């Protein structure tokens, strides 16, 4: 019963985009021939597309030896996928180092503020906010520190994107929650009708 009020925000990492520098030039034509599952249409896109299953991670592989991995939900899956990709490339005529440099470029997370949001009020009170329900149901909020973009929906569900680390996501979500709470635009169902959520007493 004590934990019933002010549940606070929650979030989950949904997608990690990372770049990998394999350090050697690659023969994409040869790779495409040996890997029938690969997609390679240089007229359409200069990268070769490889899709791994379990976990479902996709890779864009370029002539220069640089690679983009998308779809991972955690760093472990990402690292394993990179190792699997390196082995796959080496088994098909390439000669790339076993432990290439991996850089996380973007993290997408979904989450919930566990409170409904008055988007119209939030749009008026927040700076760098755009709310255009004719075009998209979510309010687009550009946070400067950390530098992320959060999509906020009336239900309290959110999407945070642009983060470079999991910590950025956690900080951004908590900061957003605190800011919306102080603006009085968060609402919880009970307590005698739509009433602004009561501030949590900090000791």
Partner 1 sequence: RLRKWQTRARVQTSYERNFVQAAQELERLKSSMGVPRPCVEQALEIYRQALEKELVRGRSVEAMAAAALYMACRMLKTPRPLDELIRYTKASRREVARCYRLLLRELNVRVPISDPVLYISRVAEQLKLTGDVVKTAIDIINRAKKAGLTAGKDPAGLAAAAVYIASLLHGDNRTQKDFAVAAGVTEVTVRNRYKELAKALDIKIPVK
Sites of contact with partner 1 (CB under 8 A): 116-120, 123-124, 130-135, 137-138, 153-154, 187, 194
Q: At its nearest, how many Å lie between partner 1 and the CB of residue 44? A: 19
Note whether 70 and 51 are within 8 A (CB): no
Taking the complex as a whole, the smallest distance from the CB of residue 2 to DNA amounts, in Å, to: 27
Q: How far is the CB of 119 from partner 1 (least distance, A)?
A: 5
The one of partner 1, DNA, none whose footprint includes residue 123, by CB under 5 to 8 A per kind, is partner 1
Which of 30, 155 has the CB closer to DNA? 155
| Closer CB to partner 1, 116 or 166, in the complex | 116
| Cis, peptide link before residue 141, omega less than 30° from 0 | no
Q: Exposure of 115 by Cβ count < 10 A (0-12 exposed, 13-18 middle, 19+ buried)?
A: buried
Structure tokens at 160: 């945070």
Could you tell me whether strands 186-188 and 195-196 are parallel, antiparallel, or unpaired per DSSP bridges? antiparallel
DSSP code for 48: E
Rounded distance between C-alpha atoms, residue 62 and residue 52, angstroms: 17
Binding site for DNA (CB under 7 A): 14-15, 17, 19, 39, 44-47, 49, 51, 56, 58, 60, 62-64, 66, 68, 70-71, 105-106, 108, 110, 135-138, 140, 142, 147, 149, 151, 153-155, 157, 159, 161-162
| Binding partner selected for residue 104 from DNA, partner 1, none, CB under the kind-specific 5 to 8 Å limit | none
23 vs 198, which CB is nearer to DNA? Answer: 23
117, interface contact from DNA, partner 1, none, CB < 5-8 Å by kind: partner 1
Shortest spacing between CB 200 and DNA, in angstroms = 23
Pairing state between β 139-144 and 147-152: antiparallel
Distances (CA, A) of 69 to 25, 75, 83, 122, 163: 18, 12, 12, 35, 16
């Amino acid at each position: 019963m004590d934990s019933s009020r002010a549940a606070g925000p929650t979030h989950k990492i949904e997608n990690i985009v990372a770049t990998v520098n394999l350090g050697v030039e690659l023969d994409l034509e040869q790779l495409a021939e040996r890997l029938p599952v690969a997609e390679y249409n240089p007229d359409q896109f200069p990268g070769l597309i490889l899709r791994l299953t379990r976990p479902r991670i996709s890779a864009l592989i370029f002539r220069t030896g640089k690679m983009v991995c998308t779809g991972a939900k955690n760093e472990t899956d990402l690292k394993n996928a990179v190792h699997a990709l390196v082995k796959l490339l080496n088994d098909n005529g390439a000669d790339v180092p076993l432990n290439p440099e991996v850089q996380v470029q973007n993290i997408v997370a979904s989450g919930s503020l566990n409170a409904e949001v008055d988007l119209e009020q939030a749009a008026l009170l927040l700076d760098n906010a755009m709310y255009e329900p004719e075009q998209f149901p979510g309010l687009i909020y550009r946070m400067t520190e950390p530098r992320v973009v959060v999509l906020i929906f009336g239900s309290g569900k959110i999407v945070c994107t642009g983060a470079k680390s999991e910590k950025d996501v956690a900080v951004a979500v908590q900061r957003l929650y605190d800011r919306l709470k102080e603006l009085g635009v968060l609402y919880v169902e009970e307590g005698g009708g739509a009433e602004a959520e009561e501030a949590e007493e900090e000791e």
